[in-house]
Homo-oligomer: A and B are copies of this chain.
């Protein structure tokens, strides 16, 4: 019997989730739910329906896990608790400061409905978080570093697009290799924002726009760019389409810790992701956690959970005997 999945929202992440379900023999995409007019949407799964988000009012018997792929950070604080009152849900909420509040809201709704809500799933928060936690739990005298990239930051690309005279932009976040190597050496450096990452922007300017002014506006933009060394390249629309249509990303969590008499021994733990498609990988993580949510809920577990609360075995479609035989 397949786990029946619904996807709410069909942007990059929703399509990434759909792609991962296709690779999962134990799952079936029942429907994509949209707040737009369903007739305007074409999806990649011929056997699944496109329905209105309003239809979620009474589909409790048709959906085992609902993937909340809301379009923006502002959607999820409202959506995830709302649907946790009816469905097992998964989201990728990543506004760090608001996680305690979001966790509490989802927990309340999910517990009342005897459902599970797994929040902040993906790779950061998500797989990177797990690696930080495992490492600090093993080596208590240590320090963690996170580097992102090389990859496209959609938030930064959007910020540049809002500048006058900019038609399109792709912004890459790039870790500073010397700093990564310094961390790997176990020397526990203190690194400034500027020392950890650089930023590279590929910009299509409107015809006749003042490129020097655009470059200045980018490089001095507070929060987004002013604390970084930023490079700006002006390119044509054709070059943008040809060379920058993908959404690669990745990064690494590096943890260094000491043990032994006089802390003489250094250990380095590095977890590194190199992803051709950020939304497809994130979608695949969400789908693995949907499997966990379903199975834990079947066992009677309810409430809000994060990746920290889920034993690895729940993510695998294989049995305990099989994973001990093949992966231990």
A residues neighboring B (CB under 8 Å): 16, 19-20, 23-24, 44, 96, 99-100, 103, 120, 125, 127, 129-134, 136-141, 184, 259-261, 264-277, 280-281, 283-285, 288, 291, 306-313, 315-317, 320-321, 323-325, 327-328
Contacts and interface: CB of A to CB of B under 8 A. Distances in A.
Given A19-B259, A328-B306, A315 B138 contact: yes
4 closest A-B pairs by beta carbon, nearest first, are A265-B276, A137-B315, A308-B313, A259-B280
Secondary structure dominating the interface of A: helix
A19 B267 CA distance: 14
Contacts of A130: 134, 312
Contacts of A277: 259-260, 265, 267
A134 to B, nearest CB: 6
Contact of A324 (B16, B103, B267, B275): B103
A97 B46 CA distance: 44
A323 B133 contact: yes
Q: Which of A264, A265, A273, A321 gathers the greatest number of chain B CB atoms within 10 Å?
A: A265
A307 B130 CA distance: 14
Contact of A267 (B264, B281, B325): B281
A320 B133 CA distance: 11
Nearest to A316: B137
A295 to B, nearest CB: 12
Contacts of A24: 140
A127 B134 contact: yes
B267 A269 contact: no
Nearest to A26: B140
A32 B76 CA distance: 52
B327 A129 contact: yes
B270 A271 contact: yes
A267 B271 contact: no
A80 to B, nearest CB: 15
Q: Which of A96, A272, A285, A321 gathers the greatest number of chain B CB atoms within 10 Å?
A: A272
A308 B284 contact: no
Nearest to A265: B276
A284 B325 CA distance: 25
A323 B103 CA distance: 13
A48 B44 CA distance: 64
A182 to B, nearest CB: 14
Nearest to A315: B137
A121 to B, nearest CB: 10
